[in-house]
């Protein structure tokens, strides 16, 4: 092994993120192979440290089976590198580079990391000897191909993301994260069953990526209110967190027809596989609990549609935390008497289902935006 430390364009946070991804990825694919199927890996949304591709195409089973020893070795490497990251950062870089090479073998496409120029597909040489010719066809769905002259050597068709009919009809991949802003708190509403709810002013970070290399034009976005109700009793536990960057859009959900208010660049916007976009949505309510969704109108060549962004198929829910306090700052009748140390016996937080986390902050389970 070289004495010189390996070089990387990734930040320490991106390195850690990519190692976590590779750990989960190798575990999942090895488990799927042992279960005689890799359907769950038909499309894998890549972490932000991977700038290309934004979605990995399907894995070919024979290829994956031939790389099982390398997958096992990589899983062991990223596990140890992740646990020793603070002491051995070079091991982290080496593990990521090995992971990149294995991803390229599995999916048949180049992988570009943050800070790098787009990598070209590796030149494949079927004959392997000097003077042989490598021919390749790249891209998505192709029409007629005209051969000019003779062909020497093999013709290799590389898988690529986008441009097939399904992707063109539904081209948008959406990721959502919910961040606290003014109210750094866990808020559990006394519903049936009890559930966490985002306080008004929380920021919804909506990341839009395209499955196709074609430009997808985003014409407009709007919030759609699907329910309103009087605030219910709630458990409120505050936290201390750092500030977030300024938002891009705000929306008053108490309005009869809520409209997104831009704070900077407004629609229309354009995304492609190499050029994603990120929206920061900050909804506000003052008197009612509001259920809502985000709708984004788009066109891609002759195709058009509306992407519906929500909480994994259910509406986002926003709570007005002001109702938990009186004008004098005292606890209102809607707020439970819980302290930071313990909950009251009748607190809804104690009746949360076992599989429900008390906080809604963080990434929402990724899903393809539906029209």
Report the length, in residues, of the chain. 371
Model confidence band, residue 36 (pLDDT cutoffs 50, 70, 90): low
End-to-end CA distance of the chain: 52
Beta strands 203-210 and 172-179, pairing class: antiparallel
366, pLDDT greater than 80: no
Does residue 158 have a pLDDT over 90? no
Q: What is the mean pLDDT of residues 72-88?
A: 67
- Paired strand residues for 173: 209, 368
Residue 288 pLDDT > 80:
yes
48 or 104: which carries more pLDDT confidence? 104
Residue 56 has pLDDT above 50, yes or no: yes
How does pLDDT run across 159-210, given as a tens digit for each residue? 444 456 667 777 888 888 888 776 678 899 999 999 999 998 888 888 888 8
In this structure, the number of other CB atoms found within 10 A of the CB of residue 154 comes to 14
3 vs 108, higher pLDDT: 108
Q: What distance in Å separates the CA atoms of residue 88 and residue 81, rounded to the nearest whole number? A: 7
Mean local confidence (pLDDT), 298-325 = 90
Of the spans 64-78, 143-157, 195-209, 220-234, which averages the highest pLDDT? 220-234
**Lowest pLDDT segment from 2-6, 43-47, 68-72, 124-128:** 124-128
Q: Are 231 and 319 in contact (CB under 8 A)?
A: yes
CA pair distance 233, 97, nearest whole angstrom: 51
CA 13 to chain centroid: 16
pLDDT for 127 beyond 80:
no
pLDDT of 125 reads 38
Can you tell me the mean pLDDT for 300-309?
88
Helix axes 12-34, 68-83, angle to 10 degrees: 140
**How much of the chain is helix, strand and coil, in % rounded to 5?**
20, 30, 50
Q: Is 28 exposed, middle or buried (0-12, 13-18, 19+ CB in 10 A)?
A: middle
> CA-to-CA distance for 187 and 357, rounded, in angstroms?
11
Assess whether pLDDT exceeds 90 at residue 297. yes
**117 Cβ neighbours under 8 A, 6+ residues apart:** none
């Amino acid at each position: 092994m070289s004495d010189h430390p390996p070089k990387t364009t990734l930040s320490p946070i991106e390195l850690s993120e990519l190692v976590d991804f590779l750990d989960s990825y190798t575990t999942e694919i090895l488990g799927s192979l042992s279960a005689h199927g890799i359907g769950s890996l038909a499309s894998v949304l890549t972490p932000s440290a991977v700038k290309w591709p934004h979605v990995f195409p399907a894995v070919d089973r024979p290829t994956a089976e031939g790389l099982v020893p390398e997958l096992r070795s990589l899983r062991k490497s990223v596990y140890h590198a992740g646990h020793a990251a603070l002491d051995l950062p070079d091991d982290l870089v080496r593990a990521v580079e090995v992971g990149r090479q294995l991803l390229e073998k599995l999916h048949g496409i180049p992988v570009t990391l943050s800070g790098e120029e787009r990598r070209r597909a590796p030149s494949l040489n079927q004959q392997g000897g000097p003077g042989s010719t490598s021919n390749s066809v790249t891209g998505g769905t192709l029409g007629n191909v005209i051969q000019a002259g003779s062909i020497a050597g093999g013709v290799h068709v590389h898988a690529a993301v986008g441009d097939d009919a399904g992707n063109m009809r539904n081209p948008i991949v959406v990721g959502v994260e919910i961040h606290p802003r003014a109210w750094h708190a866990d808020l559990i509403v006394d519903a049936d069953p009890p559930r966490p709810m985002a306080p008004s002013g929380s920021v919804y970070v909506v990341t839009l990526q395209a499955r196709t290399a074609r430009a997808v034009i985003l014409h407009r976005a709007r919030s759609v209110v699907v329910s309103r109700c009087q605030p219910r009793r709630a458990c409120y536990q505050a936290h201390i967190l750092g500030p977030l960057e300024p938002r891009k859009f705000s929306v008053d959900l108490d309005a009869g027809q809520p409209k997104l208010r831009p704070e900077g660049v407004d629609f229309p916007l354009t995304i492609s596989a190499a050029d994603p976009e990120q929206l920061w949505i900050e909804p506000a309510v003052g008197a009612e609990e509001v259920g809502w969704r985000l709708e984004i109108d788009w066109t891609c060549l002759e195709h058009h549609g509306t992407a519906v962004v929500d909480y994994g198929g259910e509406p986002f829910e926003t709570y007005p935390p002001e109702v938990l306090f009186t004008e004098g700052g005292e606890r209102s009748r809607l707020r439970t008497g819980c302290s930071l140390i313990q909950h009251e016996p009748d607190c809804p937080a104690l009746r949360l289902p076992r599989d429900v986390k008390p906080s809604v902050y963080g990434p929402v389970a990724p899903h393809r935006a539906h029209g």
